[in-house]
Amino acid sequence: MVRSVAIFFCLLSGLQGLPQDRGRALRFVPFVNAGPLQLDEPLFLPDGTPATITQLRFYVSQIRFFDQGHIAFFDSSCYLVDAGEPKSLLIQADLPRSTHADSISFLLGIDSLNNVSGAFGGDLDPTKGMYWTWNSGYINWKLEGTCTKCTTVKNEFQFHLGGYLPPYFNAQQVGLKVKDEGVITVEVDVSKFFAQALLGGRCSVMSPGKDAVELAKLAASVFSIPSRGEE
Amino acid sequence: MRNKVLTAIAALVLFAAATDRQPVAVEFRIPKGWPQPSYDFANNPLTQEGIALGRKLFYDPILSADSIVSCSSCHLSYTAFTHVDHAVSHGIRDRIGTRNSPALMNLAWGRSFMWDGAVNHLDMQALAPISHPDEMGEDFSHVIQKLQRTERYPELFRRAFGDEAITGERMLKALSQFELTLISAYSKYDRVKAGAEVFTQQEAKGYALFLAHCNTCHHEPLFTTGEFANNGLRVDTIYNDLGRMKVTGVPTDSLHFKVPTLRNVEFSFPYMHDGRFKSLRHVLDHYVEGLSPSPTLAAELSNSNSLTKDDRTDLIAFLLTLSDRDFCFDPEHGYPKE
């Protein structure tokens, strides 16, 4: 219940100043501990440890809408979703509302080709801070904050997940069953990620590799469609 | 009154002319007998205005945190764009890096950049020195903001890209455009190949030895395959640099470094990724007497120990035919005057 109220609230606040929903859209709603994620606000891990999240940003690309197993729509663009930028939480898809869809999929991150093809603009512009400078490649998922468990400077933790070279290809497919609605709400419950990523005092993963792939799988599991039963 | 109207019309016409002017396309010429370049020009077509903008950026210390260091601080045109006589590079506030700055040329044929190939595309290369704390020490988005606040740059970006927007993408592509024009293909070796000149006897002997011992890795006409290899350097105890393995995580890549081009090698001393050898003589002595055994040592080097002292002298004579003075003193490569 708390959840659906919160979603409703997010929808309202997020919609302000946005163009009328044409066609369809995906709306990402970041959550933590069953409430909307507020950057820089104090919160607690499941075991009661105080923490804050200062940044949550990730790439969503290769969005597909499926209708009974057939691809009804494919969008090859890459979108940067930033919990601190309400506008970025809504991704408009240029397809008519009349198109049916019973499931969607997207790539959490950037595919290999876009990782090796030089400079791009828009959401892929390296000024967005989602590109590694010392070892080429996009950062697919960035979660930063503080947690008293971390013995780092200012108790900071940083998870920058990316990498396109095998065997550590990082971007993950996410597939979700959806209700056939104009705006599809996708919850991003970072508590799941957060609690496990920080296990064992791991406070920083910032380069491609085994850890980054493991955490990317975890990150891909935090997306879900809120069930109607709760409303 | 009439005058005013006329001026207004004239201004309008001028304005229209200025905004309508298309950047002038520049054709990328592949030297005779060379392979196709790897760079995809379709994504970044060369134009006079784009190249000029890239050149200005290359020489502008605005890209660094202390506004003193520019790309050219470590890549000097007169010496084939390397930092002569510095074993490892010097950056802002005199900080010292861990690697030797390579000569820059024929970058359009490069498939990866840096000694370990950590950078996968020329466009993205500049991000590394700009944000490296020991090189230019800047934040890339801050560099873009600084450029946006200048008087000059919005106009230069408009000329190159059609409007005044200064973005990271455009800035990087302009830098690439300038760097892509740095083609060295007019050395004595090239003139000999074209039939316009002949090798001395010593150079010819050196060339034959080169083909027998060096050409598998330093493959002509680019004098590199662009691949990675372990050429037998003892791992340096100060930096403990494992090269390619850091990028791929694959143990067989340990101590592999990118094969550097040998064009203009006369100027790129000191040699190797950490600048450990002061002269070509030292390099040759290394290949003959100094190979450090390791599981990843290149098999191609197994018979280089047969090179006599005279052979080495001949080889060096040949290597010096790869110097391209026209390249080093090309007025199009130097500090932009305007």
pLDDT in tens, B141-151: 999 999 999 99
Give me the pLDDT at residue A181, please.
79
Closest-CA distance, A137 to chain B, in angstroms, reads 8
pLDDT at A128 over 90: yes
**Best residue in B107, B114, B140 to probe A by mutation, most A CBs within 10 Å?**
B140
Dist. CA A27–CA A88, nearest whole Å: 9
Where does B25-183 sit in CATH, by number? 1.10.760.10
Give me the pLDDT at residue A55, please.
96
Contact A134 B121 (CB under 8 A): no
CA-based nearest residue to B66, from B43, B94, B38, B40: B94
Give me the pLDDT at residue B94, please.
59
Query: What ipTM was predicted for this assembly?
Result: 0.84
* Band of residue A151 on the pLDDT scale cut at 50, 70, 90: confident
Angle at which helices B152-161 and B168-180 pack, to 10 degrees?
70
Contact A118 B124 (CB under 8 A): yes
Q: How many CB pairs under 8 A join A and B?
A: 75
* Band of residue A4 on the pLDDT scale cut at 50, 70, 90: very low
Q: With beta carbons under 8 A apart, name residues in chain B contacting A138.
A: none
Q: With beta carbons under 8 A apart, name residues in chain B contacting A120.
A: 169
| Strand, helix or coil for residue A105 | strand
Query: Is A230 inside a domain boundary?
Result: no
The two beta strands, A42-44 and A50-67, are: antiparallel
Could you list the residue range(s) of the whole structural domain that residue A113 is in? 2-224
Q: With beta carbons under 8 A apart, name residues in chain B contacting A126.
A: 124, 127, 140, 168-169, 172
For the whole model, what pTM was predicted? 0.89
CATH 1.10.760.10 residue ranges for chain B: 25-183, 188-322
Q: For the residues A112-122, what does the mean pLDDT come to?
A: 95
What's A138's DSSP letter? B
Dist. CA B323–CA B320, nearest whole Å: 6
Decide: B130 and B140 in contact? Cβ < 8 Å. Answer: yes
Closest-CA distance, B137 to chain A, in angstroms, reads 12
pLDDT at A230 over 70: no
What's chain B look like in SS3?
Answer: CHHHHHHHHHHHHHHHHHHHCCCCECCCCCCCCCCCCCCCHHHCCCEHHHHHHHHHHHCCHHHCCCCCCCHHHHCEHHHCCECCCCCCCECHHHCECCCCCCCCCCHHHCCCECCCCCECCHHHHCHHHHHCCCCCCCCHHHHHHHHHHCCHHHHHHHHHHCCCCCCHHHHHHHHHHHHHCCCCCCCHHHHHHCCCCCCCHHHHHHHHHHHHHCCCCCCCCCCCCCCEEECCCCCCCCCCCCECHHHHCCHHHCCEEECCCCCCCCCCCCECCCCCECCHHHHHHHHHHCCCCCCCECHHHCCHHHCCHHHHHHHHHHHHHHCCHHHHCCCCCCCCCC
pLDDT at A111 over 60: yes
Nearest to A131 among B43, B127, B170 (CB): B127
- The residue among A2 and B52 whose pLDDT is bigger is B52
pLDDT tens digits along A176-215? 999 877 889 999 999 889 888 887 778 999 999 999 999 9
Closest-CA distance, A31 to chain B, in angstroms, reads 29
Decide: B177 and B46 in contact? Cβ < 8 Å. Answer: yes
Contact B169 A168 (CB under 8 A): no
Give me the pLDDT at residue B10, please.
47
Give me the pLDDT at residue B277, please.
93
Give me the pLDDT at residue B12, please.
46
Class of domain B188-322: mainly alpha
Give me the pLDDT at residue B87, please.
63
**Residue with the two structure tokens 């560099």:** B143
Structurally, how many domains does chain A consist of? 1
Q: Which residues is A65 bridged to in the sheet?
A: A73, A104
**Which segments of chain B have a pLDDT < 70?**
1-20, 85-98, 338
Decide: A73 and A99 in contact? Cβ < 8 Å. Answer: yes
The two beta strands, A42-44 and A24-32, are: unpaired
Q: With beta carbons under 8 A apart, name residues in chain B contacting A133.
A: 127-128, 130-132, 140
